Amino acid sequence: MKIIKLDAIESTNTFLKNMVSSVVVDDFTVVVAKTQMKGRGQMNSEWIVEEGKNLTFSVFSRFIDLAVENHKYLNFCVSLSVFDALKTLSIPSLSIKWPNDILSENKKIAGILIENMLKGSNIVSSVLGIGVNVNQDCFPESLPNATSVKKIIGKETNLDTLLNDMLRRLKEYITLLDKKEYATLEKAYLEKLYKKNVPTMFKNSQNILFMGKIIGVSKSGNLQIELENETVQEFGLKEISFAML
């Protein structure tokens, strides 16, 4: 494993993707930045961090035989590695909000951005971007649902120790992925899924409210919700949100 530590860059994912396009990059190369000027979350949302207080890093991973249709299991691997490492810090009510935000209670503590490189019907490699709010005390008013490890447990956490723990767990989960232990990964992910099997108010992309309960993740990676009439409907990213979080 090669870890590249940088002070300030636009985005660890962008930096690593540019590396991959210009030179041969070793499997499991990691880029860590003290701060990102243009950090990105899902659907090009902005990821704002305070310099030197948090973990912002990206991991390059190669795959031998990972079909595009099985991309959700890669998401499970990354989400579980972050969840498990944070769980050791005694953070209460930890869960994974589909597809890959990590929550404590209903506050976001970590986010993940996965960018895949494809060849035919296979994912040949990915850049796995991870952002974790660790020692930051204050967040902008525009992020009312953001929190950090320090705000929750009341003390600072060593960034290098937490990083190494997440990377170790990520390697273990990717080993399961390589072995096609898909059922194991799905079971572990669904056990930690936020609001699973809990009647909840949702809002669709047309701002229409409806009741339902999350029952799983479809083969294509969409969220499966059982409606009040007991039918099951699938929703993609940004097609649905919690009415209250």
In tens, the pLDDT along 103-144 reads: 999 999 999 999 999 999 999 999 999 999 999 998 888 888
> Given pLDDT bands bounded at 50, 70 and 90, which one contains residue 223?
very high
Each residue of 26-75: pLDDT tens digit? 999 999 998 887 655 544 555 566 789 999 999 999 998 999 999 999 99
Helix or strand or coil: residue 23? coil
* C-alpha–C-alpha distance, residues 107 and 191, integer Å: 19
Give the predicted TM-score (pTM) of the model.
0.94
Output the pLDDT for position 142: 84
Side chain identity at residue 225, one-letter code: I
**What pLDDT sits at residue 8?**
86
Determine the Cα–Cα distance for residues 109 and 97; give it in Å rounded to an integer.
11
Q: What is the DSSP letter of 120?
A: T
pLDDT given at position 36: 81
Which amino acid does the sequence have at 59? V
- Rounded to the nearest 5°, which phi and psi values hold at 212? -175, 180
C-alpha distances in Å from residue 179, one per residue of 65, 84, 96, 155, 228: 10, 20, 23, 38, 38
**pLDDT of residue 98 exceeding 60:** yes
* Whole-number pLDDT of residue 33: 95
Vertex 114, ends 221 and 28: CA angle to 5°?
125
The C-alpha atoms of residue 196 and residue 31 are separated, in whole angstroms, by 34
Q: What is the pLDDT of residue 43?
A: 47
Other Cβ atoms within 10 Å of 43 Cβ, number: 8
pLDDT digits (tens, 9 = 90+) for 158-205: 999 999 999 999 999 999 999 999 999 999 999 999 999 999 999 999
Q: In three state form, how does the secondary structure of 178-228 look?
A: HCCCHHHHHHHHHHCECCECCCEEEEECCCCEEEEEEEEECCCCCEEEEEC
